[in-house]
Amino acid sequence: MRPGLILFTYLHLAADKRLSRELLRRRVTAVGYETIQLEDSSLPLLAPMSEVAGRLAIQAGSWCLQARSGGRGVLLSGASGVRPGKVVVLGGGIAGLNACRVAAGVGAEVTIMDINPSRLRYLSDLLGGRVTTVMSNRATLEEEVTNSDLVIGAVLVPGARAPRLLSAKMVARMRPGAAIVDLSIDQGGISETSAPTTHARPTFIRNRVVHYCVTNMPAMVPHTSTYALTNATLTYALEIADHGILEAGRIDAAIRQGVNTYDGHVVHPAVAEALKMKPHSVWT
Amino acid sequence: MRPGLILFTYLHLAADKRLSRELLRRRVTAVGYETIQLEDSSLPLLAPMSEVAGRLAIQAGSWCLQARSGGRGVLLSGASGVRPGKVVVLGGGIAGLNACRVAAGVGAEVTIMDINPSRLRYLSDLLGGRVTTVMSNRATLEEEVTNSDLVIGAVLVPGARAPRLLSAKMVARMRPGAAIVDLSIDQGGISETSAPTTHARPTFIRNRVVHYCVTNMPAMVPHTSTYALTNATLTYALEIADHGILEAGRIDAAIRQGVNTYDGHVVHPAVAEALKMKPHSVWT
Amino acid sequence: MRPGLILFTYLHLAADKRLSRELLRRRVTAVGYETIQLEDSSLPLLAPMSEVAGRLAIQAGSWCLQARSGGRGVLLSGASGVRPGKVVVLGGGIAGLNACRVAAGVGAEVTIMDINPSRLRYLSDLLGGRVTTVMSNRATLEEEVTNSDLVIGAVLVPGARAPRLLSAKMVARMRPGAAIVDLSIDQGGISETSAPTTHARPTFIRNRVVHYCVTNMPAMVPHTSTYALTNATLTYALEIADHGILEAGRIDAAIRQGVNTYDGHVVHPAVAEALKMKPHSVWT
Amino acid sequence: MRPGLILFTYLHLAADKRLSRELLRRRVTAVGYETIQLEDSSLPLLAPMSEVAGRLAIQAGSWCLQARSGGRGVLLSGASGVRPGKVVVLGGGIAGLNACRVAAGVGAEVTIMDINPSRLRYLSDLLGGRVTTVMSNRATLEEEVTNSDLVIGAVLVPGARAPRLLSAKMVARMRPGAAIVDLSIDQGGISETSAPTTHARPTFIRNRVVHYCVTNMPAMVPHTSTYALTNATLTYALEIADHGILEAGRIDAAIRQGVNTYDGHVVHPAVAEALKMKPHSVWT
Amino acid sequence: MRPGLILFTYLHLAADKRLSRELLRRRVTAVGYETIQLEDSSLPLLAPMSEVAGRLAIQAGSWCLQARSGGRGVLLSGASGVRPGKVVVLGGGIAGLNACRVAAGVGAEVTIMDINPSRLRYLSDLLGGRVTTVMSNRATLEEEVTNSDLVIGAVLVPGARAPRLLSAKMVARMRPGAAIVDLSIDQGGISETSAPTTHARPTFIRNRVVHYCVTNMPAMVPHTSTYALTNATLTYALEIADHGILEAGRIDAAIRQGVNTYDGHVVHPAVAEALKMKPHSVWT
Amino acid sequence: MRPGLILFTYLHLAADKRLSRELLRRRVTAVGYETIQLEDSSLPLLAPMSEVAGRLAIQAGSWCLQARSGGRGVLLSGASGVRPGKVVVLGGGIAGLNACRVAAGVGAEVTIMDINPSRLRYLSDLLGGRVTTVMSNRATLEEEVTNSDLVIGAVLVPGARAPRLLSAKMVARMRPGAAIVDLSIDQGGISETSAPTTHARPTFIRNRVVHYCVTNMPAMVPHTSTYALTNATLTYALEIADHGILEAGRIDAAIRQGVNTYDGHVVHPAVAEALKMKPHSVWT
């Protein structure tokens, strides 16, 4: 059995039936970065991009807050004698933690919110007194968001739509000229007012708040992103190249999770479900 | 000429005419810690007590905020997922800087206010992102104070009454159960609502705010305070003992500033003025 | 089957037979915060209180060391030119780690002791050079304790009496006016000289050492404690409210561990053992 | 003698003869922010803008390095496993120090260069191990600049043209897509390749390097800048308003330095020289 | 059954057949520190020595870089105005992390390399901006090593030869007078140019690079090492002493892993394999 | 007037009459690094060497504490669960501050002692909680020294013998195997037991304490030292080269202080005094 072409990249087949059918028709072995998953259910090939996006979020947010972008004209660092800007990071995962670090590093006043108490405890242990951790619920969310200069949406529910944490009404109560950088836009965004934007026209203003919702932020810094991604993918690519996909999948469960189509069959259950097909077992 | 007894301690003669007259009558050489002054106009024998008082202020303030003291029941450190308490330090001198350090150290959200831009710049350079510096004016003062859990009064205008920065009305707008620790109480206090208290009954509640206005705070920690003070006084004591007051004053201008009375004459101008006498020149 | 009233709070039934019997008689579904347990055997509804107590311990200890409390008159922060106070934290769990952080934050010289080498390694990695980690054994314990100004007892052996780490004799060899804050007092205390105290009379002096053994320390800061606790309990409360206890227990193993009594039966094995009854299985 | 209108703002009269003549003709008392000078020859009304510009420099530089701006596509923070960007700050004054702090805060690899060994020592004491200090000379400058991703020009020689530290040839040897943010552009810029730009078109590419040379950077963040500037100017404005210019100048030497024209006469020597007039003495 | 003498120490029997045979002949129960292993496959009795060796590595490396040792004459801390030395740590385990911490602490420019992306992410989270993490591959390794002053070899593949990361050719391209401290020398070393050395003659120079390859580095600091080791071994020693080896092994899986020989039989599989014997089961 | 050869280096003529006479005879213009002095009486060409020596002191001290050097076998960093070594730095000048930083950086427990309270306050402000500052007097000195593993002598009284802070008796009471690194050895050393050593034989043991008293420590790291020194000397060398010594001395008072001999005359008063000659005035 000759597996033919192996495609190893971000695929998102569940959302693209035409692509899926073509891959099946041509019997391509399609391995999706986004479905490679470790036993602790972490996603090793999404992590580096979350890291880059989280760090970029503060850079993008600073730009949004400039007067020319329609922002409040606030410098996140403040100045001696002048309060720094206030940043609220929604979501304490990899992207959120990285956004926090950079925001605290530039001297902003930073709050990170999550719904998992032990994650908040870990963040508090790690980041010490430089960042405030706040349990997220309707009341705290409203209070923090409406008092901030910059909101970073960094909520990821794997395989599901991002929760709509901000209603249009809540956004309208934010400070005029405040900004939202919505990293969750790929999963639908954390605000009712979010809508995807492009690198060419990265922002729009809604309810007097600057929105930055570029869907592929790491492309802003291809040099750094490419190294970060390749660091993570190379090991898997070498495993597949060295052993072939069948043997590689036998050795490494993460690769098995990654295979979406094989020899004309849908293998990944979620993709199968999206295509209303029955998943095929390659390794039993 | 035999100068007789030399008294070397805190004197505050301007405020105590009876003591002054007795010292003159008995021809005591009285050298006041509080008038020893260096060329840069710093007060080397007040500095250690400012340091101790500033550090103690947070300890006293934490105690005021406890429910049993009538406070808001707020822990300055907060907890993971719960905002820390907010501390505002009024005055960026030695006491204020030391209060800041401890407050930031326990994990509180700390703002320090002063009216000197270059002092604020130095504090910002020194304390980095852990403390917010805010230029003090009527507007910022009101905003910071009414949004805080703990206000530390650390304003010293040498030789003058402390400015009344807080009116009773402003205090009434503070959060119920908030606290004021007024280190400036010896110079009259920074709040209209302040009044001296004792170690036995350290606090009172006015306008729903807990006030801590103990006049000699370093006495709470005599072990530390004694060493801190002696570290600073010993050098001068030895100079005086080694050379006699006349020679010591000749060598060291700071000691000259310290001499209040000598051989039946008032020497220090400010004391002379308070007693309506003409100051006498010993070193010409 | 109608489960009637659900009681969801700290219960400690093993120590209160009368309460247990009444709950059984009235067929109350009693879910104990203290027996909700995750798979990694952590106790998510005890953790927030350990955090608050740990942070409060330094605040309480500072107060004990003041001259008026009978203490040595030592300021934990020290002063420039004067050694800071020395704090020894016994136990490197959540309470101990939080006590450490605050103690180091105020500028004290801090040692944390534990018997688990890998926990010490983690603490050392996390806290870097600001805190000294010391393996606890009879020799090191004696040396550290007798050279310290403040001992924090933060040892928790889940479901068991706290070990008596300090004998009365060892306490007698401590510096006169030193202090012990015994957070383990609910489990019997870490010192032979410990005995429970109240917020009204929080301390006593034994062997010339100030003892602070208030049994419910977080009540000192109800504002912070309530938020910290509710952050953790709310998720479980909502699960129970949304699904009913039977379904909630089916979904979430932690809730199963939490149920102490149900419909007139003892469910939790430890409670059953204390009451000499046979535990009843609800979920099989 | 009635001085008529007092103009108190940035003036830069030496560079604007027409404005100068008009002020003289109308007998305006013109006080220039930029010539108010303290005894230690610091410029208190330039300092806040240097601070803001220094902090903004990293924000602007990050933006320049993005692919869409023509930059290398490097994220200054790097990522785990990927080197951060390298920033070189030329000049260790207020602007340079603030640029350093922010650059180190975002996680970049930062070098600061100056020609004053004791300033470098102070920076090294203050910034510890997070920033590398390098003595600037032809050899080190070339090495650092050509190995960096981002060069910040922060050299100010008061009252003189900024030194041309970078030749076009040296810029050509920089990494393609690297960036220069030239804060010294108002004084002519630190690079042969620099030329003033505007907020509307902030950058140009020369020798494959992105140049950002906006002449009034603080206008990007008017909210922060206005507060920072007003904090510093207010004291002087009040002095002038309270006492009138003659008395204010008598009391405060800094204000005397600030007066450029008075009652139809040029007062400031440098302005007089630029206009080829004889300076007039108001205070003698 | 009387187990006779129990030997509990570092054994390394696989490499010493004669010792193995003697232990079998005399029916010694030999428990090897190096084979005691926890469920997460960590080696609790190797960890303390890795920690000590990692910290010592920088001390040894500093000494190698001194002119008298044949080194470049570089001070790792640098000086104000002079670049610090550059340290590359190969391997992000316990030894590597500890070497990093000390190197960053003295003020060196530090890079740590590993092939595990999530370990690099953890190191980056923990060490923040003070250390650069770089994914190790042929290209990055060559670049980092040839640009460094000091290379620390801290790679451990449990039970296997250390990988030969540095070829003689790569070493030849290093800066003349640079240094390699090879902590992996016990497993064969990370460089083709490494060869074991002794405390008496700790270094040799090959390809103009100073090599430090002492096989038992912790012996340099016996005071610290003994405490570190005993902290970890004592618990196991007491378990064995309290219960006897059979019962101790029943209770504690780590001890079972530790037993190499028992009652004349080889128990540990790896030792058995080395001796070409069949392993004997004691606990079934 | 042609000044002939200009010699610009460390001279120390007061201690070398023969050299002085030869310089006079040959009419050499001898400018001594060690007598160039700024208005604030700092010594800009000694400062870089103090910095390097201070940082080296910890490196040398670590080496002394190793078993093979006769030391206690203590690792300054300690290990997790094992106390770090204790370092006492005597003298809070440039060398002392730099020794402190490195010692704290490696994780040692560090105390710095001085007799100047405001210097101690500055050190405490700068170094925060990582270093303990202690006022030096007979009692504290004895206590700190006898409880330490490593004593760094960093006391400089410009132009005078270093004070003998440690008597042989006090050294005898130190821990056996402790170490003294005496940076003040050039001025006679801070201990009665100190005596100059060489790079070839850097240490000796007296009273069971390892002494390291190499007279020219920066020569251990010539690469770093040369850059550090040249950074500071170059400006002066260029001034002299550009203007000739007469004009350079006219412009720059520091250079005037540096000239020791000129055209056959002794110029520097201290050198003149040592040679019992009358100093000659070049600039009047």
For the stretch E63-86, pLDDT in tens is 999 999 999 999 999 999 999 999
Residues of chain C with pLDDT under 70: 1-3, 159
Chains A and C: 3 or more CB pairs within 8 Å of each other: yes
Using a CB-CB cut-off of 8 Å, the residues of chain E touching A51 are 121
The amino acid occupying position C13 is: L
Q: What is the mean pLDDT of residues D175-183?
A: 97
Are E227 and C135 inside 8 Å of each other by CB?
A: yes
Using a CB-CB cut-off of 8 Å, the residues of chain C touching B58 are 106
Q: What would the two tokens of residue E194 be?
A: 């490494």
SS3 of D46, please? coil
Pick from E44, E97, E101: CB nearest C117 = E44
Using a CB-CB cut-off of 8 Å, the residues of chain D touching A107 are 55, 101-102, 105
**Residue E245, min C-alpha distance to chain C (Å):** 22
pTM score of the predicted model? 0.94
Q: Please tell me the predicted confidence (pLDDT) of residue A12.
A: 86
Q: Please tell me the predicted confidence (pLDDT) of residue E160.
A: 74
**The three-state (H, E, C) secondary structure of chain F, written as one string:** CCCCCEEEECCCHHHCHHHHHHHHHCCCEEEEHHHCCCCCCCCCCCHHHHHHHHHHHHHHHHHHCCHHHCCCCCCCCCECCECCCEEEEECCCHHHHHHHHHHHHHCCEEEEEECCHHHHHHHHHHHHHHCEEEECCHHHHHHHHHCCCEEEECCCCCCCCCCCCECHHHHHCCCCCCEEEEHHHHHCCCECCCCCECCCCCEEEECCEEEECECCHHHHCHHHHHHHHHHHHHHHHHHHHHHHHHHHHHHCHHHHHHEEEECCEECCHHHHHHHCCCCCCCCC
The tens digit of pLDDT for each residue in E153-177 reads 999 877 678 899 999 999 999 999 9
Are B231 and C67 inside 8 Å of each other by CB?
A: no
**Residue C160, min C-alpha distance to chain A (Å):** 24
SS3 of A266, please? strand
pLDDT at residue A92 is higher than 80: yes
Q: Please tell me the predicted confidence (pLDDT) of residue B159.
A: 67
Using a CB-CB cut-off of 8 Å, the residues of chain C touching F120 are 80-81
Q: Please tell me the predicted confidence (pLDDT) of residue E275.
A: 84
Chains that touch A (3 or more CB pairs under 8 A): B, C, D, E
Are C81 and B222 inside 8 Å of each other by CB?
A: no
Are F47 and D117 inside 8 Å of each other by CB?
A: yes
Chains that touch D (3 or more CB pairs under 8 A): A, B, E, F
Pick from E83, E128, E134: CB nearest D134 = E83
What is the interface size between B and D, counted as CB pairs within 8 Å? Answer: 21
Q: Give the position of tokens 């993005």.
A: D66
Using a CB-CB cut-off of 8 Å, the residues of chain A touching B82 are 134-135
Are B121 and D47 inside 8 Å of each other by CB?
A: yes
**Residue F41, min C-alpha distance to chain D (Å):** 13
Mean pLDDT estimate for chain C? 93
Q: Please tell me the predicted confidence (pLDDT) of residue B16.
A: 84
Question: What are the φ and ψ backbone dihedral angles of E87, each rounded to 5 degrees?
Answer: -115, 135
Question: What are the φ and ψ backbone dihedral angles of B281, each rounded to 5 degrees?
Answer: -90, 125
If you measure CA to CA, which chain B residue comes closest to A76?
A: B129
Mean pLDDT estimate for chain A? 93
Are F81 and E227 inside 8 Å of each other by CB?
A: yes
Residues of chain F with pLDDT under 70: 1-3, 159
The tens digit of pLDDT for each residue in A177-207 reads 999 999 999 889 999 999 999 999 999 999 9
Q: What would the two tokens of residue A176 be?
A: 């005029």
pLDDT at residue B4 is higher than 90: no
Which of A12, A243, A265, A280 is labelled catalytic? A12
Would you state the torsion angle of the CA atoms of residues B87, B91, B93, B97, taken in this order, to the nearest 10 degrees? 10
Using a CB-CB cut-off of 8 Å, the residues of chain B touching A80 are 117, 120-121, 123-125, 133
Using a CB-CB cut-off of 8 Å, the residues of chain F touching E63 are 59, 63
Mean pLDDT estimate for chain E? 93
Q: Classify residue B38 by burial, with Cβ atoms within 10 Å: 0-12, 13-18, 19+.
A: middle
pLDDT at residue B112 is higher than 80: yes
Active site annotation includes A199: no
Picking from C58, C75, C77, C80 by the largest number of F CB atoms within 10 A of its own CB, the best residue to mutate is C80
User: Please, are residues D55 and A85 in contact by the beta-carbon 8 Å criterion?
Assistant: no
Max CA distance (Å), chain D: 72
Picking from A75, A83, A148 by the largest number of B CB atoms within 10 A of its own CB, the best residue to mutate is A83
If you measure CA to CA, which chain D residue comes closest to E116?
A: D81
**Residue D126, min C-alpha distance to chain B (Å):** 7
Which of D12, D243, D265, D280 is labelled catalytic? D12
Are D47 and B129 inside 8 Å of each other by CB?
A: no
Residues of chain F whose C-beta is under 8 A from some C-beta in E?
A: 48, 51-52, 55-56, 58-59, 62-63, 65-68, 72-82, 85, 98, 101-102, 104-107, 199, 219-225, 227-228, 231
Residues of chain B whose C-beta is under 8 A from some C-beta in F?
A: 42, 44, 47-48, 51, 94, 97, 101, 105, 126, 227, 231-232, 234-235
Are F51 and D137 inside 8 Å of each other by CB?
A: no
Pick from F118, F135, F137: CB nearest B44 = F118
Pick from C81, C123, C125: CB nearest F135 = C81
Are A231 and E129 inside 8 Å of each other by CB?
A: no
Mean pLDDT estimate for chain B? 93
What is the interface size between D and F, counted as CB pairs within 8 Å? Answer: 21
Q: Please tell me the predicted confidence (pLDDT) of residue F159.
A: 67
Q: What angle do CA E41, E47, E49 make, to 5 degrees?
A: 150
If you measure CA to CA, which chain E residue comes closest to D112?
A: E81
If you measure CA to CA, which chain C residue comes closest to F113?
A: C81
For residues A108 and B130, what is the distance between their CA atoms, to the nearest angstrom? 10
For residues D258 and D281, what is the distance between their CA atoms, to the nearest angstrom? 13
The tens digit of pLDDT for each residue in E201-233 reads 999 999 999 999 999 999 999 999 999 999 999
Chains that touch B (3 or more CB pairs under 8 A): A, C, D, F
Are A104 and B129 inside 8 Å of each other by CB?
A: yes
Q: What is the mean pLDDT of residues B176-180?
A: 98
Are D109 and E121 inside 8 Å of each other by CB?
A: no
Are E82 and D117 inside 8 Å of each other by CB?
A: no
Are F120 and C83 inside 8 Å of each other by CB?
A: no
Chains E and C: 3 or more CB pairs within 8 Å of each other: yes
Distance of CA E115 to the CA centre of its chain: 17
Are B227 and C72 inside 8 Å of each other by CB?
A: no
**Residue A283, min C-alpha distance to chain D (Å):** 33
Residues of chain E with pLDDT under 50: 1
Are E134 and D109 inside 8 Å of each other by CB?
A: no
The sheet that has D259-262: what strands, in order across it?
D6-9, D29-32, D259-262, D265-266
Are C234 and A137 inside 8 Å of each other by CB?
A: yes
Residues of chain C whose C-beta is under 8 A from some C-beta in F?
A: 78, 80-84, 104-105, 107, 109, 117, 120-121, 123-125, 128-130, 132-135
